[in-house]
Structure 1
Amino acid sequence: MALFGLFRRKPHERQGFELYATAVRAARHPFFFTTLGVPDTLDGRFDLVGLQVALLIRRLHRDTDPRGAALAQAVFDAMFADMDTNLREMGVGDMSIAKRVKNMWEAFHGRALAYEAPLAAGDHAALADALARNVWRGTRPAADPAVARLTDITFNADAALAAQPLEALLAGKARFPEPVA
């Protein structure tokens, strides 16, 4: 009987992967790289994916329905399962995968925390500081027009996700607004 538990899927696993894939598609929009000049590197891509996923998880955690938190965990799990797979496909050895994934988790967690307070307070300047520091690794000041535009896009995406019903998210459907305007 206990053996069957090994083959059971986790709650919301499929929807978590679908939502994660939607966040990745949003993060890969060419506008970020061509117009805003986000570095099209592993770090730049990781930062944009992390930003979109952090917004999605923030939305799910703000829901009073306990399924929101469970779905947020499923999105998080999907992200780091994907990171593990990508590292393996890039040829990272099995012995160092766990350490690299842990470092990525810590980086993601730190960024999510850095974005949470400014988003909750509606503090554009603090969010711009965090985005300049993380996405551009401090090579652009927070007052740079590209940083200001990403800050606006982030607040817009946060509001758009907040307006989406939990039932749609539970079905694996989320909509990120187009970053161009």
Structure 2
Amino acid sequence: MGLLALFRRKPHERAGFELYGAAVAAARTPWFYGSLGIPDTLDGRFDVVGLHVALLIRRLRTDPDPRGAALAQAVFDAMFADMDINLREMGAGDMSIGKRVKRMWEAFHGRCLAYEAALDAGDAEALATALERNVWREAAEAPREPAHRLARHAMHGAAALAALPFATLLRGEASFPAPLEAADAA
């Protein structure tokens, strides 16, 4: 391996960052933190970004194009590179960042498995339960109705992503639908 190989971009790196950016942009919609009452905290935002990234990764991994898995990995890599940078910007010490990112990865992975199983089964109730358990984990009382609304939004988002041509995703382009209630109010 020559020295120049160290500076070469990984396949799909740019598209992965673009897709991750689309997930972050979708997660910034005020509806999540206002109407649904998701805590507007680092953890709350991590959960909403994670949900959108999980939908993207699921879409990419299940595509018949063999490049789908590599693009899914690029989205994952972009997310956790961003998490690392954000922790550093918030002043986390170099010695603790690796452990914190690992805990975030483990939390994200567990959520992905739960969300994917519910989405694959078409089980809105199981998805709402998983979202309630994760997104509102620190709430004194379980918010069933907002969890069901978020589950409907996630299922709608998964369907919209499934309808996108793989070539669009390969270019780093993805659009998440507006929350159903927010679109109705506009």
- 8 A contact 1:83–1:101 mirrored in 2: yes
Matched with 1:51 is 51
The letter of the residue matching 2:77 is D
* 1:31-64 deviation line (CA, Å, top 9, x unaligned): 0001110000110000000000000000000101
| Alpha-carbon distance in structure 1 between the residues aligned to 2:138 and 2:132 | 5
Q: CA deviation at 1:71?
A: 0.5
Q: TM-score, normalised by structure 1?
A: 0.97
- 8 A contact 1:129–1:141 mirrored in 2: no
After TM superposition, which residue ranges in structure 1, 4 or more long, deviate above 6 angstroms?
A: none
Matched with 1:141 is 142
- 8 A contact 1:114–1:130 mirrored in 2: yes
Matched with 1:161 is 161
Aligned residues: 180
The 5-angstrom pairing of residues 37-116 of structure 1 reads: 37-116=37-116
The letter of the residue matching 2:169 is L
| Alpha-carbon distance in structure 2 between the residues aligned to 1:95 and 1:52 | 29
Q: 3-state SS of the aligned residue for 2:43? A: helix
Identity level (%): 68
- 8 A contact 1:80–1:101 mirrored in 2: yes
- 8 A contact 1:131–1:151 mirrored in 2: yes
The letter of the residue matching 2:41 is T
Matched with 1:152 is 152
- 8 A contact 1:119–1:127 mirrored in 2: yes
Gaps of 5+ in 2: none
Structural RMSD (CA): 1.1
* 1:74-93 deviation line (CA, Å, top 9, x unaligned): 00000000000000000001
| Alpha-carbon distance in structure 2 between the residues aligned to 1:141 and 1:86 | 29
Q: 3-state SS of the aligned residue for 1:65? A: coil
The letter of the residue matching 1:55 is L
| Alpha-carbon distance in structure 2 between the residues aligned to 1:109 and 1:84 | 16
| Alpha-carbon distance in structure 1 between the residues aligned to 2:47 and 2:137 | 10
| Alpha-carbon distance in structure 1 between the residues aligned to 2:54 and 2:117 | 12
| Alpha-carbon distance in structure 2 between the residues aligned to 1:6 and 1:106 | 28
Q: CA deviation at 1:15?
A: 0.6
Matched with 1:18 is 18
| Alpha-carbon distance in structure 1 between the residues aligned to 2:66 and 2:100 | 31
* 1:137-166 deviation line (CA, Å, top 9, x unaligned): 163436x22111101001000000000000
| Alpha-carbon distance in structure 1 between the residues aligned to 2:87 and 2:13 | 21
- 8 A contact 1:16–1:71 mirrored in 2: yes
The letter of the residue matching 1:129 is T
- 8 A contact 1:23–1:176 mirrored in 2: yes
Gaps of 5+ in 1: none
Matched with 1:35 is 35
